[in-house]
Chain A
Amino acid sequence: MNLTVNGVEHDVASAPLTSLLDVLREELGITSPKAGCEQGGCGACTVLVDGEARRSCLLPVGALDGAEVTTVEGLGTPERLSTVQLAFTHHYAAQCGFCTSGMLLAAHAYVEHGGSDDRAEITEALGGHVCRCTGYVKIIEAVAAAARGDSFDLETTAASPGMTNIGGVR
């Protein structure tokens, strides 16, 4: 069976009930999707399948003959980051980085489908993804900024909303 991953066609040898996640990581050596739970519960393995954000741990590869899969490797490169990659960098939306690939692909699909910068809408789209580090604040900020089409300065990072520094106090 055939799978196109980030524009490259692959002849897949894994058994049809193997998860797409396993095929990507173990057969094709594409390691950005993470095995965070293999239960469909965390979103660290999310990739795009024919443009839609999907949990790759839940998809038997046998169901995907001819599908086009996009992982973070297909979004952008360090020299040419995609919009959501720029937004996540500028807004410090990644701490340990383990949930980041899945978040980015969900965010990318959201923005591509015309998502707005509304927090409730972003939550509806990304709400199944677990991040244990950030408390989600900066992730939401990043997705909103990408949805608005902000431009991003990579020399610096953005402050969170609602932050005040009152300096030294007696």
Chain B
Amino acid sequence: MAKHTGRGFAAIEYPTGMNQNGDPSQAWIKVKPDGRVDVFAGTSDIGNGSKTIQSQIVAETIGVPYEWITYDNSNTDSSPVCTGTFASRATFVAGKAVEKAALEVRGRILDIAGKELEIDPGDLEIVDGEVVAKGAPQKKISVPDVAAAATWGHGELITGTGAQLKPYAAIVDPESGRVDLPPHSAISYAACAAEVEVDDETGEVRVTRLVQCYDVGKAINPTLVEGQIEGGAVQGLGLGVLESCYPFYPSVEHRGGEFGTYLAPGMEDLPSIETIIIENPSTDGPYGAKGIGEMANNSQPPAIAAAVFDAVGVWVTELPITPERVLRALEAREGGDGGPRRDGKKVVFDEELSVNAVSSGGVRFEVPA
């Protein structure tokens, strides 16, 4: 039995929001006569927690308790447009739309409070559900009283709408791929170190530790950020060493049609996970947030591949890094066939996988000599 440990490292970046089209999210908010706040948005909560995050943004922006918020994303009759929950956009783009709507509501509350208190709205602020005069905290009126005054006294509805739209970024030069505007809303960054244990006789790889760092811009809710990072880490582990729809790709034979034969990571696969959060605020996101939902599974596979090399000295560059691939690589190396081919200043890995080896000439990868 020969088990080897290894460490690997990777650093990545990932764009928030869709790349190449207008990407709208909209929201509207109304305030009930007792000051409670109803938010309508079309963002599906797929477990990512957008109901929570967007409610927090509204509570913070207006200045009322989180518990006062009701959030309705249940249907397309009551909710305005949101293209959806993908592209790491639910906080960054849709959250911004909600923030804008909440700012409008805040302005309406201050206007009416100003009339009630006979103070210029610009001299008022909202703190914990109360509108108070800046510098004169004894002059105040509660948001519920403002909402009641609006409804019964002024005959007004306190409401707000918000829309966030990233302008269309066109590829102005298809030859070079040059764009006229950034095709993303922000870029997030992460790095990951992986530790593995590799059995050089069975080829089995066990990921034992993942240490990760994410620049999240601003953690609107740190617990939910952790949830995204940890869930992503285990999906990245699945990508790295377990999962494949086609175990004999490109063949379509022996696909797994159940959990026993499709190798989704289980609790037993969980490595030790440590995470470091950096908060370098974005310019466009709500409260400086960036979108990190998707990138959370991107850094582990290359870190694991490097760790496997560190452990047993072979590069496995087809994912997942199955026991069979490790064994085949080890065997190739023992047969004197594992390393790269050196040709002048060229160091050429994986020649047998290249289109140059497989295609009869329809597509080539030409590298200048």
| CB within 8 Å of B: which A21-44 residues | 37, 39, 41-42
Cβ–Cβ contact A123 & B268, under 8 A: yes
Report Cα–Cα, A88/B54, bound state, in Å.
22
Asked if A64 is at the interface (CB within 8 A of a chain B CB), the reply is: no
Cβ–Cβ contact B259 & A37, under 8 A: yes
Asked if B219 is at the interface (CB within 8 A of a chain A CB), the reply is: yes
Report Cα–Cα, A157/B46, bound state, in Å.
20
The answer to whether residues A164 and B276 also contact, given A123-B268, A127-B266, A130-B264 and a CB cut-off of 8 A, is yes
Report B285-306 CB contacts with A as 1/0, cut-off 8 Å: 0000000000000000000000
Asked if B278 is at the interface (CB within 8 A of a chain A CB), the reply is: yes
Nearest Cβ on chain B to A54's Cβ, whole angstroms: 17
Cβ–Cβ contact B231 & A169, under 8 A: no
Report Cα–Cα, A156/B266, bound state, in Å.
28
Nearest Cβ on chain B to A103's Cβ, whole angstroms: 10
Asked if A97 is at the interface (CB within 8 A of a chain B CB), the reply is: yes
Asked if B339 is at the interface (CB within 8 A of a chain A CB), the reply is: no
Asked if A129 is at the interface (CB within 8 A of a chain B CB), the reply is: yes
Nearest Cβ on chain A to B70's Cβ, whole angstroms: 16
User: CB within 8 A of B47: which of A39, A42, A96, A167?
Assistant: A96
Cβ–Cβ contact A95 & B47, under 8 A: yes
Asked if A18 is at the interface (CB within 8 A of a chain B CB), the reply is: no
Stretch touching chain A among B137-145, B232-240, B307-315, B360-368: B232-240
Asked if A168 is at the interface (CB within 8 A of a chain B CB), the reply is: yes
Asked if A136 is at the interface (CB within 8 A of a chain B CB), the reply is: yes
Asked if A17 is at the interface (CB within 8 A of a chain B CB), the reply is: no
Cβ–Cβ contact B277 & A162, under 8 A: no
| CB within 8 Å of A: which B38-56 residues | 45-49
Asked if A140 is at the interface (CB within 8 A of a chain B CB), the reply is: yes
Cβ–Cβ contact A166 & B273, under 8 A: no
Cβ–Cβ contact A135 & B231, under 8 A: yes
Cβ–Cβ contact A133 & B231, under 8 A: yes
Nearest Cβ on chain A to B84's Cβ, whole angstroms: 15
Cβ–Cβ contact A168 & B279, under 8 A: yes
Cβ–Cβ contact A165 & B270, under 8 A: no
How many chain B residues touch A (CB < 8 A): the figure is: 36
Nearest Cβ on chain B to A96's Cβ, whole angstroms: 3
Cβ–Cβ contact B231 & A165, under 8 A: no
The answer to whether residues A160 and B259 also contact, given A95-B231, A135-B270, A136-B270 and a CB cut-off of 8 A, is no
Cβ–Cβ contact B230 & A167, under 8 A: no
Report Cα–Cα, A166/B275, bound state, in Å.
11
Report A32-72 CB contacts with B as 1/0, cut-off 8 Å: 00000101011000000000000000000000000000000
Asked if A81 is at the interface (CB within 8 A of a chain B CB), the reply is: no
Asked if A76 is at the interface (CB within 8 A of a chain B CB), the reply is: no
Nearest Cβ on chain B to A72's Cβ, whole angstroms: 17
In terms of DSSP, what is the predominant structure of the interface of chain B?
mixed
Asked if B223 is at the interface (CB within 8 A of a chain A CB), the reply is: yes
Report Cα–Cα, A42/B266, bound state, in Å.
10
Report Cα–Cα, A39/B275, bound state, in Å.
35
Cβ–Cβ contact A95 & B49, under 8 A: yes
User: CB within 8 A of A159: which of B222, B232, B233?
Assistant: B222
Closest residue of chain B to A167, judged by CB? B279
Report Cα–Cα, A140/B273, bound state, in Å.
13
The answer to whether residues A137 and B270 also contact, given A95-B231, A132-B231, A163-B226 and a CB cut-off of 8 A, is yes
How many chain A residues touch B (CB < 8 A): the figure is: 37
Q: Which residues of A contact B45 (CB under 8 A)?
A: 96
Most buried by A among B222, B231, B273, B274: B231
User: CB within 8 A of A128: which of B49, B266, B276?
Assistant: B266
Cβ–Cβ contact A162 & B227, under 8 A: no
Cβ–Cβ contact B278 & A166, under 8 A: yes
Report Cα–Cα, A92/B264, bound state, in Å.
22
Asked if A158 is at the interface (CB within 8 A of a chain B CB), the reply is: yes
Report A147-165 CB contacts with B as 1/0, cut-off 8 Å: 0000000000111101111
Cβ–Cβ contact A164 & B275, under 8 A: yes
The answer to whether residues A39 and B259 also contact, given A158-B223, A168-B281 and a CB cut-off of 8 A, is yes
Asked if A20 is at the interface (CB within 8 A of a chain B CB), the reply is: no
Closest residue of chain B to A90, judged by CB? B223
Q: Which residues of B contact A128 (CB under 8 A)?
A: 266
Report Cα–Cα, A138/B235, bound state, in Å.
15
Asked if A134 is at the interface (CB within 8 A of a chain B CB), the reply is: yes
Q: Which residues of A contact B273 (CB under 8 A)?
A: 135, 137, 160, 162
Asked if A126 is at the interface (CB within 8 A of a chain B CB), the reply is: yes
Q: Which residues of B contact A95 (CB under 8 A)?
A: 47-49, 227, 231
8 A-B pairs (CB sep. < 8 Å): A41-B258, A126-B267, A129-B267, A138-B227, A160-B275, A163-B222, A167-B278, A167-B279
User: Could you list which residues of chain B lie within 8 angstroms of chain A, going by C-beta atoms?
Assistant: 45-49, 215, 219, 222-224, 226-227, 230-235, 258-260, 264, 266-268, 270, 272-281
4 closest residue pairs by CB, A with B: A96-B47, A41-B259, A135-B234, A95-B47
